[in-house]
A and B are shown apart, each in its own frame.
Chain A
Amino acid sequence: MHILVDFLATTAVANMTIGNLLMLVVGMIFISLAIRKDYEPLLLVPIGFGCIVGNIPSIASMAVGVYDQGSVLSYIYFGVSQGIFPPLIFLGIGAMTDFSTMLSSPRLVLLGAAAQMGIFLTLIGALYLGFSPAEAGAIGIIGGADGPTAIFLAAKLAPHLLGAIAIAAYSYMALVPVIQPPIMKLLTTRKERLIRMKPPREVSQREKIIFPIVAFLICALIAPASVGLIGMLFFGNLLKESTVTERLANTARTALIDIVTILLGFSVGCSTQAQTFLTPESILIFGLGALSFAVATACGVLFAKFMNLFSKNKINPLVGAAGVSAVPDSARVVQMIGQQEDPNNYLLMHAMAPNVAGVIGSAVGAGILWSVLVG
C-alpha cells in the first residue's frame, strides 16, 4: 500500500501548483489563437504545446524537464541555450529573402537603421526599472522585432529571462498590425501618406551575388560578435542568388528551417515553466516589449520625415515603419495604411527595403550588445 502512496506522491497531479495550471491554460490559449485565428501558427502551436509539456511537474529525482541535466528536453533545449538554432533559422531566412528592393533603393536602408533605436531606448527603460545591464540588453533586443535574434541574445545574456523574452518577441511580432497603425497615423499627415515613390529599378543578378559577400564583410568587420547571425543570413542568401546551389537553398528555406522552427518553438515553450515565467519580471518584460515596438515604429517614421528635409524624391514616411523587422508583416501594414489613403499607391516593395535592412540592423545590434555586455 505504501508503494501506491509513494507513487501517488510522484504524480504530476500531486506536484501541480496554481502557476503550472495557469501556464497550462496559457499554452492552450496559444494553440487556440494559432488554430482558430491563424495567429502565427508555425510558432504558436509548437510554443503552446511546449508550454503544456513544460508545465507538467515532475519530482526532483527525475530528469524530465528542460532544465534537468540529461533529460531529452534538455538536449533539444541545448540548441536554444547555446545559440545554435537561431543562426540556422537565419540561414533559412537568407535563402528566402530577396534583397533586390533594398539594392534598388539604398537610402531606404537607413530607415532600417533608425528603427533599431527601439532596441537601445528599451534598454534604457529596462535599466530604469532595475534590470541589470545584461538583462536590459536581452530585453532591449525585443525592439529588433526578430525572434531568432531575441532568443540568441537572451540565451547569451539572460538565459533565465529567455522564456519571457521569446514569448514577448513573438507575441508582439504577431501584433504588429495592431501596434503600428495608430503610431503611423499619429506621426504623419494625410499629405505625407499620399506620397508616391518612384518604382524601384531592376537589379542585376551580379549585384545580388556580390551583395551578400561584401555586406557580410562590412557588418562582420564592424561587429564581429554578429558573425553567427549575419554570416548565416548572407550565406543563405548567397545559396539562393548564386543559382548554382538551388538544391541547398531549397533545403535551407524549407526542410531545415521547418525542423529548427519545430525544435526551437517547442523547447522555448517547454522553458516557460511557471516557476521561471510567472514572475513580476515577466510582466515588466511584456510592458517593455510593447514599448520597444512602438518606439521602433516611431523612430522609423520620424527618420523618414527627417530624410525628406534633404531629399528631392520624397520618401513616404509610412515606409519608415517597415524598419521594424517583422518581415513581411510590417511591410504589409505600410501597404495597408498607404492604400487606405490612396488605393493605387503601392508601397509594399518600397517597404521591403527597410524591412530586410532591419533584419541586418537588429543582428548587428545584437552582436554589439553581446560583445559589450557579456561577462
Chain B
Amino acid sequence: MHAISFSFNYQNIIAGQGFQLAFAGMTIVFTALVLVSIFIALLPKVLVVLNRLIPEVHHHTAAPKQRETSDETAIAAAIGFALHTQQQPR
C-alpha cells in the first residue's frame, strides 16, 4: 500500500475539481430521478391508452397468491381470542 501524507488544505478541493464534480454529480443524479419521477407521474395516463390497445391478460403460469395455512390458523386464533375476551363478563 502506498504511503499517504495528509495535508488538510482547501487547495486540495480546487486541485481535485471537487466543487465541479459535486455540482455535476448532483445535477446528473437529480436529472435522472426527476425524469423517473415524471415518468411515474405520467404512467397512469399512458396506461389508460395502453390498456385499450393491449388489454391485460391473466397468465396461466402466474399462480394465484395463496395465504399460507399457518397465517390462516394464526388469524383465526387471534379472532377467536379477541371475541372470547370481548364476551367475558367484566
* Chain A contact residues, CB within 8 Å of chain B: 102-103, 106-107, 109-110, 112-113, 116-117, 119-121, 123-124, 127-133, 136-137, 160, 204-207, 210-211, 214-215, 218-219, 222-223, 243-244, 246, 275-276, 279-281, 284, 357, 360-361, 364-365, 368-369, 372
Contacts and interface: CB of A to CB of B under 8 A. Distances in A.
A218 B16 contact: no
A88 to B, nearest CB: 23
24 contacts: A106-B40, A109-B34, A109-B40, A110-B34, A116-B26, A119-B25, A120-B21, A120-B26, A123-B22, A124-B18, A127-B15, A127-B18, A128-B9, A128-B10, A128-B13, A160-B2, A205-B56, A206-B47, A206-B50, A214-B39, A223-B32, A244-B59, A364-B29, A368-B29
A149 to B, nearest CB: 13
B32 A130 contact: no
B25 A120 contact: yes
Interface in B1-57: 1-2, 4-10, 12-13, 15-19, 21-22, 24-26, 28-41, 43-44, 47, 50-51, 56
A120 B17 CA distance: 12
A130 B6 contact: yes
Nearest to B50: A206
Given A103-B40, A364-B29, 15 more contacts: A106-B37, A106-B41, A107-B41, A117-B26, A123-B18, A123-B22, A123-B25, A124-B19, A131-B4, A206-B50, A219-B32, A280-B6, A357-B33, A361-B32, A369-B25
B12 A130 contact: yes
Pairs A-B, 7 closest by C-beta atoms: A120-B22, A106-B40, A243-B62, A113-B33, A109-B37, A127-B16, A133-B16
B32 A218 contact: yes
Interface of B: 1-2, 4-10, 12-13, 15-19, 21-22, 24-26, 28-41, 43-44, 47, 50-51, 56, 59, 61-63
Q: What's the dominant secondary structure at chain B's contact region?
A: helix
B37 A123 contact: no
Given A244-B59, A246-B62, A368-B28, A218 B22 contact: no
Contacts of A109: 33-34, 36-37, 40
A130 B11 CA distance: 9
A230 to B, nearest CB: 9
A61 B12 CA distance: 40
Contacts of B18: 123-124, 127-128, 133, 136
Nearest to A121: B22
B29 A113 contact: yes
A156 B13 CA distance: 21
Nearest to A106: B40
A280 to B, nearest CB: 7
Contacts of B25: 119-120, 123, 365, 368-369, 372
A240 to B, nearest CB: 12
A280 B1 CA distance: 13
Nearest to B2: A160
Contacts of B50: 206
Most chain A Cβ neighbours within 10 Å, of B6, B12, B33, B44? B33
Contacts of B59: 243-244
Contacts of B38: 106
Given A246-B62, A246-B63, A133 B13 contact: no
Nearest to B39: A214
Contacts of B22: 120-121, 123-124
Contacts of B8: 128-130
A133 B21 contact: yes
A284 B7 CA distance: 13
Contacts of B56: 205-206
Given A123-B21, A206-B51, A211 B29 contact: no
B40 A222 contact: no
